[in-house]
Amino acid sequence: MKKKYLEFVVMKRILLTITILSLVIGAGGLCYALPFTNTVDFSGSGTDGTRAYLELSGNGSPFRYTISHSIVFDSAAQSLNSATLTISHKGNSANSGEAWLLIDTGSALVWRLAQSTFSNNWVDESFDLSPLLSSVSGTTWELTFVLTENTSGTDRLLIDKSVVTGEYSTSSSSSSSAPVPEPTTMLLLGTGLVGIAGLCRKMIIKNGL
């Protein structure tokens, strides 16, 4: 009876120590997920319904227009989890010769704008920015794209706004969002603690406590 009681007391203390240790280590491995939004509004050429727009027009091949987003994070970003670019446009033809292309500053094709001819409604078209996220960290993200039209003659497109939304991870505890444990870290920690508990119990039984 005494043996079982001592074993219970020792195991209880071991589990309490493990619990405290896991909380301390786990707190260090928490990250905070925060949303972000950055909008560039275009206007100056007219209105179409409730939308103020900028008309892009010009001659030459290609005709180019640069869109820049300067995104400032509330806390320094460790990594970006997701990001989406949404461009509101009208006036783009369906045929390949009249398509406006969305390219990065390295002049590599990223996306092609969908049809949004002047007889149609506005198109709010979204593009996944996942291929660009791996190199983003810190307090700011400077994102620049170029709209280009590759045919000769007069080119014309209406744009209303460009919006970048997404979510990033930060270790800052000043964030008001809920902490999210890093899954791999917590899994390894939990496995190790279970192993320690089992080893301690075997030692207690072996020593006849």
Rounded-to-10 torsion of CA 21, 24, 29, 33: 130
Q: pLDDT tens across 40-90, in order? A: 999 999 999 889 999 998 777 778 889 999 999 988 999 899 999 999 999
62 preceded by a cis bond (ω within 30 of 0): yes
Q: Does domain 30-170 have CATH number 1.10.3470?
A: no
Q: pLDDT tens across 149-184, in order? A: 877 777 889 999 999 999 999 876 554 544 444 444
CB 136 within 8 A of CB 115: no
Residue 152, phi then psi, degrees to nearest 5 = -80, 165
The model's confidence at residue 24, banded by pLDDT at 50, 70 and 90, is very low
What does the domain layout of the chain look like in residue ranges? 30-170, 180-209
Task: Provide the residue type at 80 as one letter.
Answer: L
